[in-house]
Protein backbone atom coordinates (compact mmCIF):
# COMPACT_ATOMS: atom_id res chain seq x y z
CA UNK A 1 0.00 0.00 0.00
CA UNK A 2 1.31 3.43 -0.95
CA UNK A 3 0.46 6.71 0.78
CA UNK A 4 1.12 10.33 -0.07
CA UNK A 5 1.02 11.25 3.62
CA UNK A 6 4.15 12.30 5.48
CA UNK A 7 5.27 11.60 9.02
CA UNK A 8 3.80 14.15 11.41
CA UNK A 9 6.92 14.08 13.60
CA UNK A 10 9.89 14.19 11.21
CA UNK A 11 8.24 14.99 7.86
CA UNK A 12 9.56 11.89 6.14
CA UNK A 13 7.62 10.24 3.35
CA UNK A 14 9.04 6.84 4.29
CA UNK A 15 5.84 5.41 5.77
CA UNK A 16 5.42 1.64 5.68
CA UNK A 17 2.12 -0.12 6.44
CA UNK A 18 2.57 -2.53 9.34
CA UNK A 19 -0.97 -3.40 10.43
CA UNK A 20 -4.57 -3.21 9.23
CA UNK A 21 -7.11 -3.29 12.09
CA UNK A 22 -9.94 -5.66 11.11
CA UNK A 23 -13.42 -4.20 11.37
CA UNK A 24 -12.30 -0.57 11.21
CA UNK A 25 -15.21 1.70 10.30
CA UNK A 26 -12.72 4.10 8.75
CA UNK A 27 -10.60 1.49 6.92
CA UNK A 28 -7.64 2.56 9.04
CA UNK A 29 -4.12 1.35 8.27
CA UNK A 30 -1.24 1.72 10.73
CA UNK A 31 1.97 3.09 9.21
CA UNK A 32 5.47 3.10 10.68
CA UNK A 33 7.87 5.90 9.80
CA UNK A 34 11.11 4.31 8.66
CA UNK A 35 13.11 7.37 9.73
CA UNK A 36 11.93 8.21 13.27
CA UNK A 37 9.72 5.28 14.31
CA UNK A 38 6.41 7.13 14.79
CA UNK A 39 3.35 4.95 14.28
CA UNK A 40 0.26 6.70 12.94
CA UNK A 41 -3.07 5.48 11.59
CA UNK A 42 -4.29 6.82 8.28
CA UNK A 43 -7.79 6.49 6.91
CA UNK A 44 -8.41 4.56 3.74
CA UNK A 45 -11.76 6.27 3.44
CA UNK A 46 -13.59 8.97 5.35
CA UNK A 47 -16.49 6.87 6.58
CA UNK A 48 -17.09 9.18 9.56
CA UNK A 49 -16.15 12.80 9.91
CA UNK A 50 -15.69 13.10 13.65
CA UNK A 51 -14.05 11.01 16.33
CA UNK A 52 -17.18 10.37 18.33
CA UNK A 53 -18.66 7.82 15.95
CA UNK A 54 -21.28 10.16 14.49
CA UNK A 55 -22.06 10.35 10.82
CA UNK A 56 -23.01 13.92 9.85
CA UNK A 57 -26.76 14.22 9.55
CA UNK A 58 -27.46 11.12 11.63
CA UNK A 59 -27.96 10.34 15.28
CA UNK A 60 -25.09 9.16 17.43
CA UNK A 61 -24.42 5.46 17.50
CA UNK A 62 -25.74 3.66 20.54
CA UNK A 63 -23.27 3.27 23.38
CA UNK A 64 -21.05 0.25 22.99
CA UNK A 65 -17.96 -1.32 24.51
CA UNK A 66 -16.64 -3.20 21.52
CA UNK A 67 -13.37 -5.08 21.67
CA UNK A 68 -12.83 -4.23 18.01
CA UNK A 69 -11.45 -1.22 16.16
CA UNK A 70 -14.80 0.59 16.32
CA UNK A 71 -14.72 0.93 20.11
CA UNK A 72 -14.87 4.33 21.70
CA UNK A 73 -18.06 6.36 21.93
CA UNK A 74 -18.70 6.03 25.67
CA UNK A 75 -15.97 8.48 26.68
CA UNK A 76 -15.71 7.73 30.39
CA UNK A 77 -12.16 6.45 30.85
CA UNK A 78 -10.41 9.76 31.51
CA UNK A 79 -11.99 9.93 34.94
CA UNK A 80 -9.89 6.97 36.10
CA UNK A 81 -6.72 8.96 35.39
CA UNK A 82 -7.57 12.13 37.32
CA UNK A 83 -6.34 11.04 40.77
CA UNK A 84 -2.93 9.80 39.50
CA UNK A 85 -2.54 13.01 37.50
CA UNK A 86 -3.31 15.23 40.50
CA UNK A 87 -0.85 13.26 42.61
CA UNK A 88 1.94 13.55 40.04
CA UNK A 89 1.29 17.20 39.28
CA UNK A 90 1.32 18.10 42.97
CA UNK A 91 4.96 17.03 43.15
CA UNK A 92 5.92 19.74 40.67
CA UNK A 93 3.43 22.58 41.07
CA UNK A 94 1.28 24.04 43.86
CA UNK A 95 -2.16 23.59 42.34
CA UNK A 96 -3.74 25.78 45.03
CA UNK A 97 -1.89 28.84 43.74
CA UNK A 98 -2.31 28.67 39.97
CA UNK A 99 -4.59 31.29 38.47
CA UNK A 100 -5.44 29.78 35.10
CA UNK A 101 -5.62 26.36 33.46
CA UNK A 102 -6.51 25.00 30.04
CA UNK A 103 -7.98 21.50 29.96
CA UNK A 104 -7.41 20.17 26.44
CA UNK A 105 -10.06 17.55 25.78
CA UNK A 106 -11.92 18.26 29.02
CA UNK A 107 -14.38 15.43 28.37
CA UNK A 108 -16.80 14.91 31.30
CA UNK A 109 -14.92 17.34 33.54
CA UNK A 110 -13.29 14.98 36.01
CA UNK A 111 -10.05 16.98 36.18
CA UNK A 112 -11.86 20.32 36.36
CA UNK A 113 -13.88 19.18 39.35
CA UNK A 114 -10.82 17.78 41.13
CA UNK A 115 -8.82 20.94 40.48
CA UNK A 116 -11.65 23.14 41.75
CA UNK A 117 -11.69 21.21 45.02
CA UNK A 118 -8.06 22.23 45.48
CA UNK A 119 -8.37 25.72 44.03
CA UNK A 120 -11.86 27.25 43.98
CA UNK A 121 -10.80 30.44 42.20
CA UNK A 122 -8.82 29.00 39.29
CA UNK A 123 -10.08 30.11 35.87
CA UNK A 124 -10.38 27.18 33.45
CA UNK A 125 -10.67 27.06 29.68
CA UNK A 126 -12.34 23.72 28.95
CA UNK A 127 -11.66 22.80 25.32
CA UNK A 128 -13.97 19.94 24.33
CA UNK A 129 -15.42 19.45 20.81
CA UNK A 130 -18.18 17.11 21.98
CA UNK A 131 -20.85 19.25 23.65
CA UNK A 132 -22.77 16.12 24.68
CA UNK A 133 -20.36 15.40 27.55
CA UNK A 134 -19.84 18.89 29.00
CA UNK A 135 -23.16 19.34 30.80
CA UNK A 136 -21.76 18.91 34.32
CA UNK A 137 -19.49 21.95 34.08
CA UNK A 138 -20.62 24.03 31.09
CA UNK A 139 -22.25 26.64 33.36
CA UNK A 140 -19.75 26.50 36.21
CA UNK A 141 -18.31 29.78 37.50
CA UNK A 142 -14.85 30.61 36.11
CA UNK A 143 -15.09 27.82 33.54
CA UNK A 144 -15.16 28.82 29.88
CA UNK A 145 -16.35 25.85 27.84
CA UNK A 146 -15.10 25.94 24.25
CA UNK A 147 -16.77 23.35 22.01
CA UNK A 148 -14.15 23.07 19.30
CA UNK A 149 -10.74 21.56 18.69
CA UNK A 150 -7.72 23.21 20.29
CA UNK A 151 -6.37 24.43 16.94
CA UNK A 152 -9.62 26.36 16.28
CA UNK A 153 -10.17 27.66 19.83
CA UNK A 154 -10.09 31.46 20.33
CA UNK A 155 -7.29 31.58 22.92
CA UNK A 156 -4.93 34.42 23.83
CA UNK A 157 -1.19 33.90 23.82
CA UNK A 158 0.69 33.34 27.11
CA UNK A 159 -2.53 33.03 29.13
CA UNK A 160 -2.26 29.89 31.25
CA UNK A 161 -0.22 28.61 34.19
CA UNK A 162 -1.13 24.98 33.51
CA UNK A 163 -2.20 22.89 30.53
CA UNK A 164 -3.79 19.51 31.12
CA UNK A 165 -3.97 17.04 28.22
CA UNK A 166 -5.03 13.56 29.27
CA UNK A 167 -5.60 10.97 26.54
CA UNK A 168 -6.18 13.67 23.94
CA UNK A 169 -2.95 13.90 21.92
CA UNK A 170 -3.56 10.49 20.29
CA UNK A 171 -6.85 11.79 18.82
CA UNK A 172 -5.69 14.98 17.13
CA UNK A 173 -5.03 15.55 13.43
CA UNK A 174 -1.45 16.63 14.12
CA UNK A 175 0.36 16.44 17.47
CA UNK A 176 2.92 18.87 16.07
CA UNK A 177 0.25 21.53 15.49
CA UNK A 178 -1.56 20.78 18.75
CA UNK A 179 1.61 21.12 20.82
CA UNK A 180 2.54 24.33 19.00
CA UNK A 181 -0.78 25.87 20.07
CA UNK A 182 -0.31 24.56 23.61
CA UNK A 183 3.14 26.16 23.82
CA UNK A 184 1.77 29.44 22.44
CA UNK A 185 -1.00 29.84 25.03
CA UNK A 186 1.13 28.93 28.05
CA UNK A 187 3.02 31.49 30.11
CA UNK A 188 6.84 31.25 30.27
CA UNK A 189 7.78 28.43 32.63
CA UNK A 190 4.20 27.11 32.77
CA UNK A 191 3.48 23.42 33.28
CA UNK A 192 2.04 20.92 30.83
CA UNK A 193 0.67 17.59 32.04
CA UNK A 194 0.29 15.20 29.12
CA UNK A 195 -0.78 11.57 29.13
CA UNK A 196 -1.29 9.05 26.34
CA UNK A 197 -1.71 5.27 25.95
CA UNK A 198 1.62 3.47 26.05
CA UNK A 199 2.23 1.65 22.75
CA UNK A 200 4.40 -0.93 24.53
CA UNK A 201 1.18 -2.22 26.12
CA UNK A 202 0.45 -4.26 22.99
CA UNK A 203 3.15 -6.79 23.78
CA UNK A 204 1.32 -7.86 26.96
CA UNK A 205 0.80 -11.63 26.69
CA UNK A 206 -2.94 -11.51 27.51
CA UNK A 207 -3.87 -8.72 25.06
CA UNK A 208 -6.80 -9.61 22.80
CA UNK A 209 -8.79 -6.41 22.29
CA UNK A 210 -7.95 -4.05 19.44
CA UNK A 211 -5.39 -1.41 20.44
CA UNK A 212 -5.40 0.49 17.14
CA UNK A 213 -8.94 1.79 17.41
CA UNK A 214 -10.53 4.16 14.91
CA UNK A 215 -10.45 7.15 17.26
CA UNK A 216 -6.67 7.03 17.75
CA UNK A 217 -4.56 8.46 14.95
CA UNK A 218 -1.19 8.39 16.73
CA UNK A 219 0.49 5.72 18.84
CA UNK A 220 3.35 6.66 21.15
CA UNK A 221 6.30 5.08 22.84
CA UNK A 222 7.73 7.27 25.57
CA UNK A 223 10.72 8.21 23.42
CA UNK A 224 8.52 9.31 20.53
CA UNK A 225 6.21 11.40 22.71
CA UNK A 226 9.17 13.04 24.44
CA UNK A 227 10.69 13.91 21.08
CA UNK A 228 7.43 15.62 20.09
CA UNK A 229 7.52 17.62 23.33
CA UNK A 230 11.18 18.56 23.07
CA UNK A 231 10.61 19.71 19.48
CA UNK A 232 7.69 21.86 20.67
CA UNK A 233 9.73 23.60 23.37
CA UNK A 234 9.09 21.67 26.56
CA UNK A 235 11.48 20.07 29.04
CA UNK A 236 10.65 17.10 31.25
CA UNK A 237 10.33 17.44 35.03
CA UNK A 238 9.25 13.96 36.16
CA UNK A 239 12.32 11.95 35.30
CA UNK A 240 11.99 8.31 36.37
CA UNK A 241 8.23 8.39 37.04
CA UNK A 242 6.48 8.57 33.70
CA UNK A 243 3.26 6.63 34.19
CA UNK A 244 2.59 2.93 34.42
CA UNK A 245 2.43 -0.09 32.14
CA UNK A 246 -0.59 1.28 30.27
CA UNK A 247 -0.04 5.05 30.24
CA UNK A 248 2.75 7.52 29.55
CA UNK A 249 2.37 10.40 32.02
CA UNK A 250 4.70 13.38 31.60
CA UNK A 251 5.04 16.65 33.51
CA UNK A 252 6.70 19.20 31.22
CA UNK A 253 7.73 22.85 31.53
CA UNK A 254 7.59 25.44 28.78
CA UNK A 255 11.04 26.75 27.87
CA UNK A 256 12.24 29.16 25.21
CA UNK A 257 14.38 26.51 23.58
CA UNK A 258 15.47 22.99 24.42
CA UNK A 259 19.23 22.86 24.72
CA UNK A 260 19.68 19.66 22.71
CA UNK A 261 17.02 17.88 20.71
CA UNK A 262 17.31 14.08 20.61
CA UNK A 263 18.21 12.66 17.18
CA UNK A 264 16.09 10.08 15.39
CA UNK A 265 16.62 6.69 16.99
CA UNK A 266 16.82 3.77 14.52
CA UNK A 267 15.97 1.52 17.44
CA UNK A 268 12.46 2.98 17.51
CA UNK A 269 11.88 1.69 13.98
CA UNK A 270 12.92 -1.86 14.81
CA UNK A 271 11.01 -1.59 18.09
CA UNK A 272 7.83 -0.67 16.21
CA UNK A 273 8.26 -3.58 13.84
CA UNK A 274 8.79 -5.99 16.73
CA UNK A 275 5.84 -4.66 18.70
CA UNK A 276 3.39 -5.08 15.81
CA UNK A 277 4.76 -8.54 15.00
CA UNK A 278 4.20 -9.73 18.59
CA UNK A 279 0.85 -7.99 18.73
CA UNK A 280 -0.54 -9.74 15.67
CA UNK A 281 0.68 -13.12 16.93
CA UNK A 282 -0.80 -12.54 20.40
CA UNK A 283 -4.16 -11.51 18.98
CA UNK A 284 -4.48 -14.68 16.92
CA UNK A 285 -3.37 -16.91 19.79
CA UNK A 286 -5.47 -15.27 22.51
CA UNK A 287 -8.63 -14.94 20.46
CA UNK A 288 -8.42 -18.62 19.62
CA UNK A 289 -7.86 -19.39 23.33
CA UNK A 290 -11.04 -17.49 24.23
CA UNK A 291 -12.96 -20.46 22.83
CA UNK A 292 -11.60 -22.43 25.77
CA UNK A 293 -12.56 -19.68 28.22
CA UNK A 294 -16.10 -19.64 26.85
CA UNK A 295 -16.33 -23.41 26.97
CA UNK A 296 -15.23 -23.38 30.62
CA UNK A 297 -17.89 -20.83 31.59
CA UNK A 298 -20.52 -22.72 29.60
CA UNK A 299 -19.64 -25.86 31.56
CA UNK A 300 -19.99 -24.34 35.03
CA UNK A 301 -22.64 -25.88 37.24
CA UNK A 302 -23.97 -24.59 40.55
CA UNK A 303 -21.94 -25.42 43.64
CA UNK A 304 -23.19 -28.64 45.18
CA UNK A 305 -25.66 -29.07 42.33
CA UNK A 306 -27.98 -26.34 43.66
CA UNK A 307 -30.53 -25.50 41.02
CA UNK A 308 -30.63 -21.91 42.22
CA UNK A 309 -26.86 -21.27 41.96
CA UNK A 310 -25.95 -18.86 39.21
CA UNK A 311 -22.93 -17.41 37.41
CA UNK A 312 -22.26 -13.67 37.19
CA UNK A 313 -19.73 -11.80 35.07
CA UNK A 314 -18.22 -8.68 36.65
CA UNK A 315 -16.99 -6.28 33.99
CA UNK A 316 -19.11 -5.28 30.98
CA UNK A 317 -16.39 -3.67 28.92
CA UNK A 318 -14.10 -4.71 26.12
CA UNK A 319 -13.03 -8.03 27.65
CA UNK A 320 -16.66 -9.10 28.01
CA UNK A 321 -17.29 -8.19 24.40
CA UNK A 322 -14.27 -10.32 23.44
CA UNK A 323 -15.73 -13.20 25.47
CA UNK A 324 -18.95 -12.95 23.47
CA UNK A 325 -17.20 -12.38 20.16
CA UNK A 326 -14.54 -15.09 20.40
CA UNK A 327 -15.63 -17.30 23.30
CA UNK A 328 -19.00 -18.55 21.98
CA UNK A 329 -20.68 -17.96 25.33
CA UNK A 330 -24.01 -19.79 25.40
CA UNK A 331 -27.26 -18.03 26.11
CA UNK A 332 -28.17 -18.64 29.74
CA UNK A 333 -24.60 -19.48 30.86
CA UNK A 334 -24.40 -16.11 32.63
CA UNK A 335 -27.25 -14.83 34.79
CA UNK A 336 -25.94 -11.38 35.75
CA UNK A 337 -23.63 -8.82 34.20
CA UNK A 338 -22.24 -6.41 36.81
CA UNK A 339 -20.32 -3.18 36.24
CA UNK A 340 -19.89 -0.22 38.60
CA UNK A 341 -18.89 2.31 35.93
CA UNK A 342 -20.42 1.41 32.57
CA UNK A 343 -23.89 1.11 34.09
CA UNK A 344 -23.92 4.94 34.27
CA UNK A 345 -23.79 5.16 30.49
CA UNK A 346 -25.23 1.92 29.11
CA UNK A 347 -28.29 -0.14 29.98
CA UNK A 348 -27.12 -3.27 28.20
CA UNK A 349 -24.41 -4.75 26.02
CA UNK A 350 -24.49 -7.78 23.75
CA UNK A 351 -28.04 -8.46 24.89
CA UNK A 352 -27.11 -8.53 28.61
CA UNK A 353 -28.60 -5.97 31.00
CA UNK A 354 -25.91 -4.27 33.10
CA UNK A 355 -26.50 -3.89 36.83
CA UNK A 356 -24.65 -1.90 39.49
CA UNK A 357 -23.06 -4.01 42.26
CA UNK A 358 -25.08 -2.11 44.87
CA UNK A 359 -28.24 -3.37 43.19
CA UNK A 360 -27.01 -6.93 43.59
CA UNK A 361 -25.38 -7.15 47.00
CA UNK A 362 -27.89 -7.57 49.78
CA UNK A 363 -30.75 -7.97 47.33
CA UNK A 364 -32.65 -10.86 45.85
CA UNK A 365 -30.82 -10.51 42.51
CA UNK A 366 -27.51 -11.59 44.04
CA UNK A 367 -28.67 -13.93 46.76
CA UNK A 368 -28.10 -17.07 44.70
CA UNK A 369 -24.91 -16.06 42.87
CA UNK A 370 -22.24 -18.61 43.73
CA UNK A 371 -19.72 -17.99 40.93
CA UNK A 372 -18.24 -14.75 39.61
CA UNK A 373 -16.09 -14.34 36.50
CA UNK A 374 -13.98 -11.15 36.70
CA UNK A 375 -13.58 -9.71 33.20
CA UNK A 376 -11.21 -6.89 34.13
CA UNK A 377 -7.47 -6.43 34.43
CA UNK A 378 -7.11 -3.05 36.10
CA UNK A 379 -9.83 -3.55 38.70
CA UNK A 380 -9.41 -7.24 39.52
CA UNK A 381 -8.12 -6.64 43.07
CA UNK A 382 -10.84 -4.05 43.77
CA UNK A 383 -13.57 -6.40 42.52
CA UNK A 384 -12.24 -9.34 44.55
CA UNK A 385 -12.32 -7.26 47.70
CA UNK A 386 -15.88 -6.13 47.05
CA UNK A 387 -16.99 -9.71 46.46
CA UNK A 388 -15.42 -10.81 49.75
CA UNK A 389 -17.08 -8.00 51.67
CA UNK A 390 -20.55 -7.88 50.10
CA UNK A 391 -21.31 -11.17 48.36
CA UNK A 392 -21.31 -13.94 50.99
CA UNK A 393 -23.02 -16.45 48.70
CA UNK A 394 -20.11 -16.44 46.23
CA UNK A 395 -17.81 -19.41 46.69
CA UNK A 396 -15.95 -19.40 43.37
CA UNK A 397 -14.17 -16.48 41.72
CA UNK A 398 -12.30 -16.77 38.43
CA UNK A 399 -10.26 -13.96 36.88
CA UNK A 400 -9.93 -13.42 33.15
CA UNK A 401 -6.13 -13.58 33.21
CA UNK A 402 -6.16 -16.97 34.93
CA UNK A 403 -8.85 -18.36 32.66
CA UNK A 404 -7.00 -17.26 29.54
CA UNK A 405 -3.75 -18.68 30.89
CA UNK A 406 -5.48 -21.99 31.54
CA UNK A 407 -6.97 -22.03 28.05
CA UNK A 408 -3.56 -21.38 26.55
Beta strands in 153-230 (DSSP E): 160-166, 186-197, 218-219
Q: How many CB atoms lie within 10 A of CB 369?
A: 22
Domain final position from 233, 257, 281: 257
Domain final position from 257, 274, 306: 257
Integer Cα distance of 130 and 145 in angstroms: 11
Residue 94 shares a structural domain with residue 176: yes
273 lies in some domain: no
Residue 241 shares a structural domain with residue 325: no
Would the pLDDT of 48 be above 50? no
Residue 121 shares a structural domain with residue 228: yes
Residue pLDDT, tens place only, 291-330: 999 999 999 976 655 555 689 999 999 999 999 999 998 8
353 lies in some domain: yes
Quick check: helix, strand or coil at residue 124?
Answer: strand
Residue 212 shares a structural domain with residue 327: no
Answer yes or no: are the C-beta atoms of 23 and 32 closer than 8 Å: no
Specify the pTM.
0.91
Would the pLDDT of 191 be above 60? yes
Higher pLDDT, 390 or 31: 31
Residue 85 shares a structural domain with residue 220: yes
Q: What percent of the chain has pLDDT over 70?
A: 90
Per-residue model confidence (pLDDT) at position 176: 97
Residue 239 shares a structural domain with residue 302: no
201 lies in some domain: yes
106 lies in some domain: yes
Residue 223 shares a structural domain with residue 309: no
Residue 245 shares a structural domain with residue 340: no
Per-residue model confidence (pLDDT) at position 50: 47
186 lies in some domain: yes
Which range of residues forms the domain containing residue 230?
A: 77-257
**Separation in Å, CA 47 to CA 18, 54, 55:** 21, 10, 8
Residue 336 shares a structural domain with residue 239: no
Q: How many CB atoms lie within 10 A of CB 8?
A: 20
Per-residue model confidence (pLDDT) at position 332: 87
Residue pLDDT, tens place only, 51-110: 444 333 333 556 778 999 987 668 888 999 999 999 999 999 999 999 999 999 999 999
Q: What is the CATH number of the domain that holds 344?
A: 3.40.50.720
338 lies in some domain: yes
In 3D, which of 6, 98, 23, 111 has the Cα closest to residue 325? Answer: 23
116 lies in some domain: yes
In 3D, which of 163, 156, 124, 125 has the Cα closest to residue 252? Answer: 163
Mean pLDDT within 132-143: 91
100 lies in some domain: yes
Residue 249 shares a structural domain with residue 314: no
Number of domains the chain is built from: 2
Residue 312 shares a structural domain with residue 366: yes
Q: What is the CATH number of the domain that holds 224?
A: 3.40.50.150
> What value does the mean pLDDT of the chain take?
89
Per-residue model confidence (pLDDT) at position 365: 55
Domain final position from 236, 257, 278: 257
Per-residue model confidence (pLDDT) at position 168: 97
Would the pLDDT of 376 be above 60? yes
pLDDT band at 49 (very low <50, low <70, confident <90, very high): very low
Residue pLDDT, tens place only, 314-370: 999 999 999 999 999 888 899 999 999 999 999 999 999 999 999 886 655 555 789
Residue 247 shares a structural domain with residue 309: no
Amino acid sequence: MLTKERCDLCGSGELNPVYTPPGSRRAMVVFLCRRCGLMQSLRGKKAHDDRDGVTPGSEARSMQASSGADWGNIRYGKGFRTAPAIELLSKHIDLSKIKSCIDIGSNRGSFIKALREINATVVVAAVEPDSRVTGDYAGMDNVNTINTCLEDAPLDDVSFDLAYSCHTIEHVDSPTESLAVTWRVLKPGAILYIEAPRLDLIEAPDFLEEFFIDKHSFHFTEKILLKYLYNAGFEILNHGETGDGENIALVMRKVDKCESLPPDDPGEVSRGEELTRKYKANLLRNREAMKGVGAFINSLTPVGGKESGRVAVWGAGRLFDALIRYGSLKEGAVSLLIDRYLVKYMDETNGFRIVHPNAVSGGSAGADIDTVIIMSRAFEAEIRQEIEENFPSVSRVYAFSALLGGAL
